[in-house]
Structure 1
Amino acid sequence: MKKRSRTIYVPAGLSSIFQVCYEGNRDLELEGARGGGFRLKLGTYTYAELSKVDEVFINGFKEEGRTSLKVIELFKKKFQIEESIRLFHKIEVPIGCGFGTSGSGALGAVFAIADLFDIRASYCELANIAHKAEILSLTGLGTVAGLSSFKGSCGLIIEAGGPCICKTQMLKVDRDDVLVSIVISNIDKATVLQSEEKKKLVNALAEDLMKDIDDAYSLLDRASVFAIKAGFADAYLQKLMDFMLKIGFKGVAQNMIGKAVHGLVDKNHLERVVKELSRNLNYKIVVSELQEKNPLLDYYSNV
C-alpha cells in the first residue's frame, strides 16, 4: 500500500443559477440540481495518506471539513476499509462563496483515496460517492455532477441527477474571455437549501429564466435577474454588478451562493478592468482562466 496518494487536481465550479431538484425519498444518485456556471482553472489540489484518525486539513490547517469527512465515511463503508485517512486540500479560491469548493474537494478526496488504496471502481461509481457526500453534508446539490459531467468551460445541467445520470448542455464562451469575481463574504448554503418557501421561489424563477439561456452571456444575463428576484442580491451587489458592466464586463451575475459577483472580461481589457476594480473597491478580486477539459477523466484514464 502507498504511503500517500498522488495529488488530484479538480477545477473550481462557479455556479451562476440553480434549481433545487431534491425530493428526499429516492436514491441520492437521482437527486441534485439544475443550473449553470463555469469551470475555472483555479481549483483544489488533494492528496490522501494513512492516519491514526480520520481528519481533514485545508490550506495547512486542520478543519471540520464535513463534506470531505463524509467522503471518507462513505468510501470506507462501500469498500470495507478499516484504516483511518487524512486528507489534505489546497484550495485556490475563497471557501463558501459559490466557487464549489466542497464539490471540488469531495471529488478530489474520492479519487485520492481510490489511488491510495488502489481501488479499481468505475469513474461514475467514484464520482457518485462525492455527489452523495455533498448532498448529505448540505453543502451543495449539483456541483459534483456539473464538474464531473460538463463538456467545455461553461454549461448547464438540464436534467438533474448525479454524475453520469444528469444531462448537460455545453454553452459557448469566447476563447479570449477570463472570469473575474469580486468576493465580499460567504453565505451559509444550508439555510437556503432547507427553507421550503425559499426553495419554491428559487425553483420557479430558475425554471422560467433557464429557458432563455443558450450561451455564456445569456447565462450571466438571466442569472443576474435570478439573483435579484430571488432576493440573493442586495442593493449593494446590484450596484456593483451595474458598475462592472460600465467598466467593460461582457456579462455579470452573483455567485451562487455567496456575497460575491462574477463576470467575463476579454483578456485584452483585463489589466484595465482589474485596475479599475482595485481603485474603487477594497474586496478580494479573483481572476481565473476557464478550464475546458475535465482533468479527472485524464487522471482516470491513467490509473
Structure 2
Amino acid sequence: MKVVTAFSPGHVTGIFQICDEAEDPLLKGSRGAGITIDRGVTTKVSVKRATRNRFEVKINGEKTGSAKVSEEVLRLALSKAEGHYNISVEHRVNIPIGSGIGSSGAGALSLALALNEALELGLT
C-alpha cells in the first residue's frame, strides 16, 4: 500500500469579477485578487492495487456522501492511471467549510497532488 499526503492552503478573495458572458465554458469563470492563508486542507491518500476501482472519502474523520468535488478528482485521476485501485481519502480541513475560504478548491488541489504522486501519473 502506498500512502501520500499533500497540503493546499485556503484563500480569501478580496476583489473579483464574474466572467460568464462567453458561450464557451473554457472562457467562463472569474478573475480577481486575494490572499492565501496558512490554514487549509491536508489530504492523505492510501492506494492499493485492486481488480476494480473503488474509493472512500472521509472529511475530518467522517464518511461523507457529499464529496462531489473529491469524487470527480478521483474519477479523473483513475481514468489516467494504469490498472485499478482501492483508494482511501482522508481530508483534514482546517478552515471553515462553506464560508468562502476555498475549502473545496484546497481539497481538490491537495487530493490531485496526492493522487498524482501515489498513482505515478506524472502530471505537472
TM-score tier, shorter chain, comes to: 0.7 to 0.9
CA deviation vs aligned residue, 1:273-292 (integer Å, no higher than 9, x gap): xxxxxxxxxxxxxxxxxxxx
Instruction: Work out whether 1:42 is the aligned partner of 2:39.
Output: yes
Deviation at 1:112, TM superposition (A): 0.4
**Higher helix proportion, which one?**
1
Instruction: Work out whether 1:25 is the aligned partner of 2:24.
Output: yes
Deviation at 1:78, TM superposition (A): 3.2
Q: Which amino acid aligns with 2:31?
A: R
Deviation at 1:33, TM superposition (A): 1.1
Q: Which amino acid aligns with 2:7?
A: Y
Deviation at 1:43, TM superposition (A): 0.9
Alpha-carbon distance change, 24 to 111 in structure 1, aligned in 2, over 3 angstroms: farther
**1:112-127 pair list within 5 angstroms:** 112-122=114-124
Q: Which amino acid aligns with 1:19?
A: Q
Measure the CA separation in 1 of the matches of 2:6 and 2:77: 16
Measure the CA separation in 1 of the matches of 2:83 and 2:17: 36
Q: Which amino acid aligns with 2:95?
A: V
Deviation at 1:81, TM superposition (A): 4.9
Deviation at 1:19, TM superposition (A): 1.8
**1:255-270 pair list within 5 angstroms:** none
Alpha-carbon distance change, 68 to 14 in structure 1, aligned in 2, over 3 angstroms: same
Measure the CA separation in 2 of the matches of 1:62 and 1:10: 21
Q: Which residue number corresponds to residue 71 of structure 1? A: 73
Larger RCO (CA under 8 A, 6+ residues apart): 2
**Higher strand proportion, which one?**
2
Q: Which residue number corresponds to residue 216 of structure 1? A: none
RMSD of aligned alpha carbons: 2.1
CA deviation vs aligned residue, 1:151-206 (integer Å, no higher than 9, x gap): xxxxxxxxxxxxxxxxxxxxxxxxxxxxxxxxxxxxxxxxxxxxxxxxxxxxxxxx
Larger radius of gyration: 1
Deviation at 1:9, TM superposition (A): 1.3
Deviation at 1:104, TM superposition (A): 0.6
Contact 2:80 2:121 in 1 (8 A): no
**1:60-139 pair list within 5 angstroms:** 60-63=61-64, 64-122=66-124
Measure the CA separation in 2 of the matches of 1:68 and 1:17: 27
Q: TM-score, normalised by structure 2?
A: 0.82
Q: Which residue number corresponds to residue 15 of structure 1? A: 13
The runs of at least 4 aligned residues of structure 1 exceeding 3 Å deviation read 78-81
Query: Any stretches of 5+ residues in structure 2 without a counterpart?
Result: none
Task: Say how many residue pairs are matched.
Answer: 118
Measure the CA separation in 2 of the matches of 1:19 and 1:81: 42
Percent of pairs with identical residues? 31
Deviation at 1:82, TM superposition (A): 2.7
Measure the CA separation in 2 of the matches of 1:17 and 1:105: 22
Measure the CA separation in 1 of the matches of 2:71 and 2:29: 20
45-54 or 108-117: bigger deviation: 45-54
Query: Any stretches of 5+ residues in structure 1 without a counterpart?
Result: 123-303
**1:1-303 pair list within 5 angstroms:** 2-5=1-4, 7-22=5-20, 23-27=22-26, 30-50=27-47, 53-63=54-64, 64-122=66-124
